[in-house]
Amino acid sequence: MGHETILVTGGSRGIGRAVVAALVRDGAHVAFTYRTGEEEARQIEADSRGLAKAFALDLGDPERPGLLVTEVETLLGPIVGLVNNAGIRKEALLALMSDDDWNAVLDTNLGGLFRCCRAVMRGMVLRRRGSIVNVASISAVHGLPGQAAYAASKAGVLGLTRSLAREIGKRNIRVNAVVPGFVPTDLTADLKPAQLEAIRATECLPGGVTVESVAETIVFLLSERSSSITGQALVVDAGSTA
């Protein structure tokens, strides 16, 4: 990847942390964000040999993405890659879900992603170079009870990915999505055993999906090795949708 600057949202844990680690191994300069867990974020910084730097980001703050991009580019240089990984999940049957919870999930997972894309696009368009990778979820294409808001937000991510790829492809900017199956992370730690069994029952591979395998797919889509790929949703689910 070389000495390029990549912005990874939600990079202090789970898939995002694995992406930061993979990019650092490739020698990229990585700006990654955290909302909570500053101590974890600072440890990742310390272990990165000076290649990774942590920034605070609350996707619920509509002004923050634009300010963040300015901070990152001032300190680390032009952003050539964006990984939209940060998100939240609130479990509830639709009939029992509050407006506040619905709005929080949609505005964070889809609205926040939109604002991050918009913030980096201006520089990418001027430089006519960039790659954006959006982290969706298998729930966008395979429904699960209690995940209507989360699934709706991630399905929206897939639609945004395809449309944005059409909008800015002529400027040599690629936009793709990764669709992970079940991945053991903090975000999925509270799933009930019956939900886990239902999710994993259709997997073909015994090892399931790891954060590392998802991260390597994201790094591939950021890199020039995928220079002819845009507007796609690459599924990493151990074969559960085969």
Q: Which residues are catalytic?
A: 150
| Distance between CA atoms of residues 23 and 4, nearest Å | 10
SS3 of residue 59 by DSSP: coil
| Distance between CA atoms of residues 129 and 115, nearest Å | 19
Phi/psi at 179 (5° precision) = -115, 90
| Distance between CA atoms of residues 10 and 7, nearest Å | 10
Q: Is the CB of residue 76 less than 8 Å from the CB of residue 53?
A: yes
| Distance between CA atoms of residues 164 and 144, nearest Å | 27
| Distance between CA atoms of residues 226 and 114, nearest Å | 23
Q: Is the CB of residue 241 less than 8 Å from the CB of residue 207?
A: no
